[in-house]
Chains A and B, each alone.
Chain A
Amino acid sequence: MDFFHTIIAILESTIRVSVPLIFAALAGLFTERAGVFDIGLEGKMLGAAFAAGAVAAVTGSVMMGLLAAILISVLLSLVHGYASITQRGSQIVSGVAINFIVAGSTVILGEAWFRQGGRTPALSGDARFQTVTFPFADAVRDVPILGPVYSDLLSGHFILTYVAFLLVPFSWWVLYRTRFGLRLRAVGENPGAVDTAGISVIWLRYRAVICCGILCGFAGAYLSLAMSAGFVKGMTAGKGYIALAALIFAKWRPLNIMLACLLFGFLDALAIRLQGNPLPLIGQVPVQLMQALPYILTVILLAGFIGKAIPPKAGGIPYVKER
Chain B
Amino acid sequence: MSNPYAKLPAWAEYGLIPLVNLIVAFLVAGLVVLLVGENPLSAAYHMINGAFGRGEYIGFTLYYATTFIFTGLSVAVAFHAGLFNIGSEGQAYIGGIGVALACLWLDRTMPWFVVFPLAIIGSAAFGALWAFLPGWLQAKRGSHVVITTIMFNFIASSLMVYLLTRVLKPLGQMAPQTRTFEAGGQLPKLDWLMSIFGLNLGNSPFNVSFLLALLAAFCVWVLIWRTKLGYEMRTMGHSPSAARYAGIGEARITVIVMMISGGLAGMMALNPIMGEQYRMQLDFVQGAGFVGIAVALMGRSHPAGIIPAAVLFGMLYQGGAEIAFEMPAISRDMIVIIQGLVILFAGALENMFRPAIGRVFASIGRRSVAAAQTRGA
Contact = CB atoms under 8 A, between A and B. Distances in A.
Interface of A: 39, 79, 82-84, 87-94, 96-105, 107-109, 111-112, 238, 241, 244-245, 248, 286, 288-289, 291-292, 295-296, 298-299, 302-304, 309, 311, 320, 322-323
A292 B155 CA distance: 5
B67 to A, nearest CB: 17
A292 B158 contact: yes
A94 B347 contact: yes
Contacts of A292: 154-155, 158-159
Given A244-B147, A288-B161, A302-B141, 5 more contacts: A83-B349, A87-B351, A92-B86, A96-B293, A99-B340
A104 B335 contact: yes
A109 B152 contact: no
B343 A241 contact: no
Contact of B159 (A79, A97, A288): A288
A295 B297 CA distance: 27
Contacts of A90: 84, 347-348
A311 B148 CA distance: 14
Interface stretch (B268-276, B326-334, B362-370): B326-334
Nearest to A292: B158
B151 A295 contact: yes
A299 B137 contact: yes
B203 interface: no
A89 B349 contact: yes
Contacts of B290: 96, 100
Of residues A92, A97, A299, which shows the largest number of chain B Cβ atoms within 10 Å of its Cβ?
Answer: A97
A94 B348 contact: yes
Q: State the 8 A-B residue pairs at the shortest beta-carbon distance, nearest first.
A: A100-B340, A104-B336, A104-B337, A101-B340, A302-B143, A94-B348, A89-B348, A97-B344
B32 interface: yes
A84 B352 CA distance: 11
B176 to A, nearest CB: 11
B372 interface: no
Nearest to B151: A295
Of residues A100, A103, A112, A298, which shows the largest number of chain B Cβ atoms within 10 Å of its Cβ?
Answer: A100
Contacts of A105: 32, 333, 337
B334 A104 contact: yes
A91 B86 CA distance: 13
A111 B162 CA distance: 33
Contacts of B238: none
Contacts of A83: 344, 348-349
Interface of B: 2, 4, 32, 35-37, 84, 86, 133, 137, 141-144, 146-148, 150-152, 154-155, 158-159, 161-162, 166, 290, 293, 297, 329-331, 333-341, 343-344, 347-352
A47 to B, nearest CB: 12
Contacts of A311: 144
A241 B150 contact: yes
Contacts of B137: 299, 302-303
A117 B154 CA distance: 26
15 contacts: A89-B348, A93-B297, A94-B344, A96-B340, A103-B336, A105-B32, A107-B336, A111-B331, A291-B158, A292-B159, A299-B133, A302-B144, A303-B137, A304-B141, A304-B143
A102 B331 CA distance: 14
Interface majority SS on B: helix, strand, loop or mixed? helix
A99 B294 CA distance: 13
Given A104-B339, A302-B148, A88 B154 contact: no
A97 B37 CA distance: 24
Nearest to A110: B333
Contacts of A98: 340, 344
Nearest to A88: B351
Contacts of B150: 39, 241, 244
Contact of B343 (A88, A96, A289, A303): A96
Contacts of B4: 320, 322
Given A238-B154, A299-B151, A87 B343 contact: no
Contacts of B37: 112
B374 to A, nearest CB: 35
B148 to A, nearest CB: 6
Given A108-B331, A108-B334, A311-B144, A87 B352 contact: yes
A25 B218 CA distance: 43
Contacts of A89: 347-351
B146 A107 contact: no
Contacts of B344: 79, 83, 93-94, 97-98, 101
Of residues B147, B330, B335, which shows the largest number of chain A Cβ atoms within 10 Å of its Cβ?
Answer: B147
A295 B133 CA distance: 14
Contacts of B343: 93, 96-97, 100
